[in-house]
Chain A
Amino acid sequence: MAVCVAVIAKENYPLYIRSVPTESELKFHYMVHTSLDVVDEKISAMGKALVDQRELYLGLLYPTEDYKVSVFPNQLCRYGYVTNSKVKFVMVVDSSNTALRDNEIRSMFRKLHNSYTDVMCNPFYNPGDRIQSRAFDSMVTSMMVQVC
């Protein structure tokens, strides 16, 4: 399941990042940040497509990082997703034990998107602020490995 979930603003600053507490938080921040290279490239490649034909799911961003190195101890896959308002979701998934199918990833992103939409619908939330929502938090928790 997911080991890191991030929501990135249109301007590419983080709105929300959460990773499993066992790993170094910093590494995941770097992982998410470097993923934006590919996300940006994919977004600019699909820029010409009509809005309603656009696929929000960007798929696997980098080839699976499955090398046994202490800094990335597991098989980690990074997936991306972009909303129509150019808010990006990046998810790092540990696939060392169970490989997830594309469909499962898609449905995880859809869940994330729905929850994000709920956050946006909150009249007290100012778009562009960091996301501090209990509902969103618990949804992300449900998607992450229960380590503790």
Chain B
Amino acid sequence: LNAAPGRAPRQRARFLPAPGGGGGGATGLVAARVPVLADHPLVRGPRFRRLKIGAGHRLDVKASGVFVLGIGHGNALLTDLYNCHLTKVYTVGGLFGKATDDFSDTGKLVEKTTFDHITREKLERILAVIQGTNHRALLMHSNIDMRTQEAYEMAVKGLIRPMGKSPPIITAIRCLQLTLPEFQLEVHCLHETQQYLRKIVHEIGLELKSSAVCTQVRRIRDGVFTLDDALLRTQWNLQSIQNAIWDCQLKVKTELEKTLG
């Protein structure tokens, strides 16, 4: 950033003695624009010494995926995005047959069980129930009086969601693939942590009368930012960052206007 051509130095008008002239007699004053010495890069030093970078929703060490950062003035937008309470989408991979103490496959083994009785139908039934109970929790934590007509209309459109603090809620969950013992789920959730998602995988295993551990948690969408907007490790350079910010600006603005009014 510092290598980029900085602002042109400020100029100000000064009255300088005319070159030549000298000698005796009246000194003519000529107005000329002269760069202010205080603005000279060698005097001021590099323009950017520190950058204010803020982080969006947390992503823990064992998980991967989209992680939103705000730079400089973008930090104010980060708080606004947090208040929008938009859903995040995760791809959660799991493995049947094992149960560990921290619900992931790197933890200490607690129990091993059989899993050959599990079918896709049973898994989908459990997922439907999880979705149902979480939908109820969604409506209950949104703190809207259910007896009003507005609540009914918003429920029809599916716009009710908690706009304040609430426990983790899963708005939608579905099975992407099931090849025993592995399975993959797509989870849309609000206010969650990755450990909560691992716990959900463990509980799905328990409901199916077996056990499960979580092998992979990958965030594929965080509000308006998807995997396509995300920058890979090889793309962490100034040009790509600037392009990415530029592309997302419009999206973020429209979303904020839509939700916060």
Our verdict on whether A and B bind, yes or no, reads no
Residue ranges of A at the interface with B (Cβ–Cβ < 8 Å): none
